[in-house]
Amino acid sequence: MSKTISETKDNFAIYQQSIDKYFTNLEQAVSRYFQAFTDLQEEYIHAWKNIIRANLSVQKEFVTKSGFDTTMPETSQEIIRNMTDEFLKTRSVRDQIAISTIEVAKKNIKTFSDNASSFADLNKDIMKSWISLCTPAK
């Protein structure tokens, strides 16, 4: 039967239980933050898209009712299409760089985490050596 924090007297057990409780809570909070951020981002994109469409609709209605000629020369149309294509290519490259950077950071953190256990084992061995040197033989 595991003891609760209030039942144990061992300092390290209390510390370990507190840390376990902290990280369990943190892991739950991260998933809630992630979901909230994703929902916010989706709502923002939806609102941005609606604002642009609404403004375009008002402009189109104004120009149409005013009797202005809305035809655009073919060269201007081609420039707009090319600009859009180039923007999308640039954004794609930027997204790939950002994702690659995140993946590298994740790999580095995992490596650090994996090595933390090795360093702890090494430190334990050093500690045992020091204790054996400082402890009188019985």
Please name the residue that has the structure tokens 């402890």: 135
Q: What is the pLDDT of residue 4?
A: 56
* Whether this model's pTM surpasses 0.75: no
Residues 6+ apart with CB under 8 A from 14: 5, 8
What is the chain's length?
Answer: 138
User: Helix, strand, coil proportions of the chain in percent (round to 5)?
Assistant: 85, 0, 15
SS3 39: helix
Cα–Cα distance measured from residue 43 to residue 38, given in angstroms and rounded to the nearest whole number: 9
In this structure, are residues 8 and 14 in contact, taking their beta carbons and an 8 Å threshold?
yes
Mean pLDDT of 109-113: 93
Mean pLDDT of 90-108: 97
Mean pLDDT of 20-26: 94
Q: Inform me whether the pLDDT recorded for 1 exceeds 50.
A: no
Model confidence band, residue 98 (pLDDT cutoffs 50, 70, 90) = very high
In this structure, are residues 5 and 14 in contact, taking their beta carbons and an 8 Å threshold?
yes
Q: What is the pLDDT of residue 132?
A: 83
Q: Inform me whether the pLDDT recorded for 79 exceeds 70.
A: yes
Q: Inform me whether the pLDDT recorded for 133 exceeds 90.
A: no
Model confidence band, residue 20 (pLDDT cutoffs 50, 70, 90) = very high
Cα–Cα distance measured from residue 29 to residue 89, given in angstroms and rounded to the nearest whole number: 35
